[in-house]
Amino acid sequence: MPQFTVQELAALTGGQFSLAENGAKAITGAAAIADAGEGHVTFFGNAKYLAQLKASRATAALVPLDFSEPISPVAIRVENPSLAFAQLLEKFAPEPIRFAPGVHPTAVIGRDVVLGENVSVQPYVVIEDGVKIGAGTVLGAHGYLGHGATVGAGCQLAPRVTIGARCVLGSRVIIHSGTVLGSDGFGFELSGGRQVKIPQTGIVQIDDDVEIGANVTIDRARVGRTWIQEGTKIDNLVQIAHNVVIGRHCLIVAQAGISGSTRLGNYVTLAGQVGLVGHIEIGDRTIVAAQSGVTKNLGPDQVVFGYPALPLRESKEQLARIGRLPKLYARVKKLEQLRGSRPESLPPDS
Report CA 277 to chain centroid distance, whole Å.
20
Q: Are 173 and 258 contained in the same domain?
A: yes
- What pLDDT does residue 329 have? 87
The answer to whether the pTM exceeds 0.95 is no
Q: Please answer whether residues 312 and 304 qualify as being in contact, where contact means their C-beta atoms are separated by less than 8 angstroms.
A: yes
CA distance 303 to 168: 33
Per residue in 150-171, pLDDT (tens digit) is 999 999 999 999 999 999 999 9
Per residue in 185-218, pLDDT (tens digit) is 999 999 999 999 999 999 999 999 999 999 999 9
Q: Are 109 and 85 contained in the same domain?
A: no
CA distance 67 to 265: 35
Q: Please answer whether residues 99 and 138 qualify as being in contact, where contact means their C-beta atoms are separated by less than 8 angstroms.
A: yes
336, part of any domain: no
CATH code of residue 75: 3.40.1390.10
Q: Are 275 and 136 contained in the same domain?
A: yes
- What pLDDT does residue 53 have? 96
- What pLDDT does residue 26 have? 96
Residue 252: count of CB within 10 angstroms of its CB: 26
> What is the tally of structural domains in the chain?
2
Q: Are 58 and 16 contained in the same domain?
A: yes
334, part of any domain: no
Q: Are 183 and 300 contained in the same domain?
A: yes
Q: Per this entry, what is the length of the chain?
A: 350
Q: Are 232 and 205 contained in the same domain?
A: yes
Please name the residues in contact with 86: beta carbons below 8 A apart, sequence gap of 6 or more.
none
Identify the active-site residue in 142, 242, 249, 279. Answer: 242
319, part of any domain: no
Q: Please answer whether residues 279 and 258 qualify as being in contact, where contact means their C-beta atoms are separated by less than 8 angstroms.
A: no
Phi, psi of 106 (to 5 degrees): -85, -10
Instruction: Write the DSSP string, 109-172.
Output: E-TT-EE-TT-EE-TT-EE-TT-EE-TT-EE-TT-EE-TT-EE-TT-EE-TT-EE-TT-EE-SS
C-alpha to C-alpha distances, 167 to 95, 117, 152, nearest whole angstrom = 32, 21, 11
Please name the residues in contact with 17: beta carbons below 8 A apart, sequence gap of 6 or more.
6, 7, 10, 23, 60, 74, 75, 76, 77
282, part of any domain: yes
Q: Are 193 and 213 contained in the same domain?
A: yes
Per residue in 225-240, pLDDT (tens digit) is 999 999 999 999 999 9
- What pLDDT does residue 95 have? 86
Q: Stretch 94-106: mean pLDDT, rounded?
A: 93
C-alpha to C-alpha distances, 83 to 64, 121, 151, 232, 300, nearest whole angstrom = 11, 33, 30, 18, 27
321, part of any domain: no
Q: Please answer whether residues 208 and 153 qualify as being in contact, where contact means their C-beta atoms are separated by less than 8 angstroms.
A: no
339, part of any domain: no
Q: Are 87 and 111 contained in the same domain?
A: no
- What pLDDT does residue 290 have? 97
CA distance 297 to 251: 18
Q: Are 58 and 115 contained in the same domain?
A: no
97, part of any domain: no
175, part of any domain: yes
Crossing angle for the helix pair 81-92 and 6-13, nearest 10 degrees? 120
Q: Are 136 and 216 contained in the same domain?
A: yes
Work out the mean pLDDT of the chain and round it to a whole number.
94
Q: Which range of residues forms the domain containing residue 49? A: 4-92
CA distance 211 to 33: 28
* The one-letter amino acid at 281: E
CATH code of residue 297: 2.160.10.10
Residues 197, 146, 234, CA angle at the centre, nearest 5°? Answer: 80
Q: Are 187 and 140 contained in the same domain?
A: yes
CA distance 311 to 165: 41
CA distance 142 to 254: 24
Q: Are 54 and 152 contained in the same domain?
A: no
Is the pLDDT at 41 greater than 90? The verdict is yes
184 DSSP 8-state letter: P
**142 part of the active site:** no
